[in-house]
Amino acid sequence: RRRHTRFKCDWSSDVCSSDLPELTDRELEVLSRLVDGQRVRTMAAELYVSESTVRGHLSSVFRKLGVRSQIELTERFRAERG
């Protein structure tokens, strides 16, 4: 797994790795899609993985960012985007 450690914005939501602690490429992608309003089922279909896998990535993101829910996570990043 490649971990982000420098500034890089890859996704449409402008979630930037410089603001995030050691997220993998996939975690960053799932986070970006969530912030953009995509549902777990849609993410799973588009990424060719199971819904459980997407939820596992989200769980890792929650732990690393110290949040407890999808709502808390999306509110945090939407507020930062202004």
Q: What six digits make up the tokens of 11?
A: 């996704």
pLDDT at residue 10 is higher than 60: no
Query: Which residue pairs, CB below 8 angstroms and at least 24 apart, start in 25-31?
Result: 25/1, 26/1, 26/57, 27/57, 27/60, 27/61, 27/64, 28/4, 30/54, 30/57, 30/58, 30/61, 31/58, 31/61, 31/73, 31/77
Q: Would you state the pLDDT for residue 41? A: 98
Could you tell me what percent of the chain has a pLDDT over 70? 71
pLDDT band at residue 4 using 50, 70 and 90 as cut-offs: very low
Share the mean pLDDT of the chain: 79
Q: Would you state the pLDDT for residue 1? A: 52
Q: Would you state the pLDDT for residue 76? A: 80
21: closest CA among 63, 56, 64?
Answer: 64
pTM of the model: 0.73
